[in-house]
Amino acid sequence: MSKVSKDVGFTLIEIIATIVLFGLVAVMAVSFFSSGVTRTDIPITQLQADAHLQLVLENMIADKENSYSANGTALKNFADALGTVNASQSTYGSGRNYYLSEKRFVCPNVSNSFQSNGTAYQFLLVTIKDNVNSGPSLSYLFSSNNANVNCASGGS
């Protein structure tokens, strides 16, 4: 009986061809997925900024309701406590800064649109931003608890 010897294994050419094929697939996969992988932080960053602004506004609302009584100047006192427009603030941000981009007293006019009014302290329009130059913003219209304030007197 004669034994037939079988060659077992891969040739050098087969191994090199396999490595080249895997290399081509890897290059295509990296080029396809790289732009998506590097941009995945943008929605997370935007969501964090939105959540931060929501927290700041909730803290402002709670402070206004708890700390400022219902008298004729309560809303003006609250507006003064908010800080300076376009300056970095941290009072309501729980350690993280935000920017107060708008703070003005407004009143509805005859067509029920709001116009600036610096003499009647019935409504305070506040807009906050996460970044002074760009990014999301959040606005809120605070109202006075004093029913005796009249927007018609003094303008609008």
pLDDT recorded at residue 65: 86
pLDDT recorded at residue 91: 83
Residues 40, 21: Cα–Cα separation, whole Å:
29
Residues 155, 152: Cα–Cα separation, whole Å:
6
Q: Grade residue 155 by pLDDT with cuts at 50, 70 and 90.
A: very low
Residue type, 19: I
For residue range 9-63, what is the model confidence (pLDDT) as tens digits?
889 999 999 999 999 999 998 888 776 666 677 788 888 888 889 999 999 999 8
Residues 21, 16: Cα–Cα separation, whole Å:
9
pLDDT recorded at residue 95: 79
pLDDT recorded at residue 2: 66
For residue range 62-115, what is the model confidence (pLDDT) as tens digits?
988 888 766 667 888 888 888 888 888 888 877 788 888 889 888 877 777 777
